[in-house]
Amino acid sequence: MNYRHLMRGLFVAVLAFGATACAPDAPDGAGSAEQVRDASVAAASAAGVLQPGDTVEFFASEFAFAPYEITAEPGTYRGILVNQGEVDHDIKFDNGDSIVASAGQSVEFGFTVPEGGVVFTCTISGHADAGMVGIVHTPASLAAVPAADEAGHASPPDEFPVVELDPDAPPYTVRDPRAPARGEGEGVTLIEGGAPDGGDLLTVEMTVEEKLMTVAEGYEQLVWTFNGTVPGPVIRTEVGDTVRVHLVNPIESEVPHSIDFHASQVAWNDEMRSIAPGEDLIYEFTTDYAGVWMYHCGTDPVLHHIANGMFGMVIVEPKGGLAPMENEFFLVQNEWYLGAQGEVSSFAKANQAAPAPDFVMFNGVAKQYLDNPIEVPTGADVRLYVLDVGPSIDSSFHIVGTIFHNVVKEGVQLFEGNDGNWGSQAVDLAPAQGAVIELRTPEDGLYPIVTHAFNFPGRGAIELLQAGDGEP
């Protein structure tokens, strides 16, 4: 294990502890686990340099070790892994075997600190990347490493490792971009008059699935999904409907999950609570306001659960519905921060202050409609439901060669035939903002769909709308 790797391990661990280690005023995450971590880190540093034969307690939770950085003389030690989390965690020193502790369990083990120090991680899929990395320094290894700066921040990271394209990665699956009708979709049932208030009820079976998915040609990731797709299913309702979602986190899952519907008004610590593998919950709400709304997993770290695929769209039409239209599509813009092939996306990369995604894409796969254009009749009315889910980057949604004549963005409306005949060239959407956009293609041909933030079409955010046969 060389210095570069040691410092990377330390950097990722510091990221995971950012709220306590570097930002004392951070409003979130000030729960009991954090207090335990603080106390434990303090205890470890107060103890100074550990001596062979000492006992060290390592507290594990989602997704961090406490302490995550200790100094010890070379030699053998007794460790206790205390799992305070809701799922299994293990601890593996680079020079030893891994030891697993179930939720709530404590497990004893032995470990050896070599001359140059050693890195330890949780080897359960995704956990190290989410922050479960720690380091044991020795006095000798510390003397060989430049100190952290005065504020206690670790050195900035090296370049992230390049993820090589895998020519053997499975081909991607094209997502059908057609917007479903109200009540349509896998697991969705519309029961007229079935709601407690006498209105219509939509029941939605929503099951978490952690699975391999090709997110761009040659790049396969271990994504976290709602109902097996990224984005999750599009749910379409009208103002006044009741939506009853049955969220299931199956026992096979590696981590807890949750769901947060922006179309709802409910208490965060009730319906939006995280559920461990093997648990389920009912999330019921009425759709009070029309719009194009985001939903996402809200489990800590939220950034990673969104960055790894757990997002989707709810379309709420005004009561009675919008004017019927033949050509309706949904487009969800998100960005992807590649983890190693076959692994979860890189939390550390997504967590940079200036995010630099590997891909920006629509409907979960980079450039999927470039090879498989979305076809519309020339001159026909086209309605798009567009949502930017981020997790961190805006969209400047534009379709080359067209002008949007009807736009409803976050409740702000532009209608065709307005006094002055105003139109719209690009719709700006910050993360979690949505719009209904209508346009017509003037002639047969191809009309590129992009974000007009032009560093991103080359990274995947370019698709095609094909009018007629595509030949002008």
Residues that bind Cu ion (CB under 5 A): 257, 297, 299, 305, 310
Q: Which of 25, 24, 21 is nearest to 10 (CA)?
A: 21
Q: Which is nearer to Cu ion, 291 or 301 (CB)?
A: 301
Local structure of residue 408 (DSSP, 8 states): E
Q: Where are the alpha helices (DSSP H) in 244-345?
A: 302-307
Shortest Å distance, C-beta 281 to Cu ion = 13
Give whichever of 44 and 306 is closer to Cu ion, judged by the CB atom: 306
b/e code 275-301 from CB counts within 10 Å (16+ = b): bbbebebebbbbbeebbbbbbbbbbbb
What's the closest the beta carbon of residue 151 comes to Cu ion, in angstroms?
Answer: 32
Nearer to Cu ion, 297 or 393 (CB): 297
Closest distance to Cu ion from the beta carbon of 283 (Å) = 14
Minimum distance between the CB of residue 249 and Cu ion, rounded to whole angstroms? 8
Tokens 């009309």 sit at which residue?
A: 447
Contact partners, residue 289, CB within 8 Å, separation at least 6? 239, 263, 316, 411
Identity of the residue, 206 or 436, whose beta carbon is nearer to Cu ion in the bound complex? 206
110 contacts: CB under 8 Å, gap ≥ 6: 76, 77, 78, 79
CB of 304 to Cu ion, least distance (A): 8
User: At closest approach, how far in Å is the CB of 99 from Cu ion?
Assistant: 26
Shortest distance, position 432 Cβ to Cu ion, whole Å: 16
Q: How far apart are CA 345 and CA 329, in angstroms?
A: 27
Number of C-beta neighbours around residue 165 at 10 A: 11
Nearer to Cu ion, 274 or 287 (CB): 274
Q: How far is the CB of 79 from Cu ion (least distance, A)?
A: 29
Residue 305 or 398 with smaller CB distance to Cu ion: 305
Instruction: Give residue for tokens 């990731």.
Output: 221
- Note every long-range contact of 77-80, with CB atoms under 8 Å and residues 24 or more positions apart, other chains counting: 77/50, 77/52, 77/53, 77/110, 77/111, 77/112, 77/113, 78/53, 78/54, 78/108, 78/109, 78/110, 79/55, 79/108, 79/109, 79/110, 79/111, 80/55, 80/56, 80/106, 80/107, 80/108, 80/109
**Residue facing Cu ion at closest CB distance:** 297
- Would you say 310 or 344 has its CB closer to Cu ion? 310
Least distance (Å) between residue 425 CB and Cu ion: 36
d(CA 132, CA 66): 9
Contacts of 331 (CB under 8 A, 6+ apart): 177, 362, 363, 384, 385, 386, 387, 397, 449, 463
Classified as helix, coil or strand, 436 is strand
Task: Output 297 or 439, the one with its CB closest to Cu ion.
Answer: 297
Which residue's CB is nearer to Cu ion, number 92 or number 305?
305
